[in-house]
Amino acid sequence: MSIFVDENTRVCVQGITGRDGAFHTKGMVEYGTKVVAGVTPGKGGQDVDGVPVFDTMKDAVEKTGANASILFVPAKFAAGAVTEAAEAGVGVIVAISEGVPTLEVSKIYQKLDRLGTRMIGPNCPGIISPGKCKLGIMPGWIHKEGGIGVVSRSGTLTYEVVDQLGRHGFGQSTVIGIGGDPIIGTNFIDSLTAYQEDPQTEAVVLIGEIGGTDEEQAADFVKANMTKPVVSFIAGRTAPPGKRMGHAGAIIAGGKGTAQEKIEALTAAGVPVADRPSEIPELIKEALKA
């Protein structure tokens, strides 16, 4: 199995006729993802690489049975696009868009919760269940099907860890980039819960970074609820306080959110923390033997 997306996921691309939308649609289709529709207001009736384009999400869902969507739209239109997708009835929305105002995300988060729709992102690379579905911008070729779940706040670090895992013979059940903004739709605990329930997942790699308290909360969850092994890596160990490092959520403020605090919390919960990404495969090997 896998979490959140699989071979039965039917995808609609919002913003499919734009440069990024068209480019990544082609990549997802070539990977084998079932991209069944696209939406760009005013361009219904066209097609992109054989994918039919509709004017609204409502039409796309009704005519193609799409049950997931991915956004390639400017940040100022992202909240509206997410709302439209959720109201059309899709179950999973991947918001790639960067720079979506935090207040807008907060408002749509409440609506998504009421509608029972999962959002991944914003400001994220997406999600991939290797061999089944790629819903995002990640390089599909480095991912191999297997039993390791990967959940990360960092896009590029995710690719590095996946590559390291593959070099040591570890495939992945699902890899999810949750995004690095202060408010996101799917967090570490959501993902860990799903991995714990997924029969395919044998162990989990958690990739965190400075800022916020998500990793500390995840550590508490692992200690109380996870029977599967979890290993981790925390980015930003040398970041100076008060400086944002890459992501809007990656900032140490008031002495909170430091790498050391996160490492201590994870270690106390029994989660091994790698000093560098290249150490993760060995930690996985040791964890699976335990």
The full set of domains in the chain, from first to last, is: 10-120 (3.40.50.720), 138-289 (3.40.50.261)
So what's the pLDDT on residue 250? 47
Of residues 24, 143, 168, 247, which has the active-site annotation?
A: 247
Cα torsion for 131, 112, 207, 176, to the nearest 10°? 10
Segments of the chain assigned E as strands: 10-14, 34-39, 47-48, 51-54, 68-71, 92-95, 118-120, 126-129, 133-136, 145-152, 172-177, 203-209, 230-235, 273-274
* HSE value, Cβ hemisphere, 13 Å, CA-based, for 220: 5
pTM beyond 0.75, yes or no: yes
So what's the pLDDT on residue 240? 63
So what's the pLDDT on residue 244? 53
Angle at which helices 57-64 and 75-88 pack, to 10 degrees?
40
Residues 6 or more apart in contact with residue 6 via CB below 8 angstroms: 129, 132, 133
So what's the pLDDT on residue 57? 98
So what's the pLDDT on residue 117? 97
Nearest partner of 84 among 113, 59, 49, judged by Cα: 59
Please indicate whether residue 143 is annotated as part of the active site: no
Averages of pLDDT over each 10 residues, the chain, 290 residues: 95 97 97 98 94 98 98 95 97 94 87 94 96 97 97 92 97 96 94 98 96 93 98 81 53 63 96 97 94
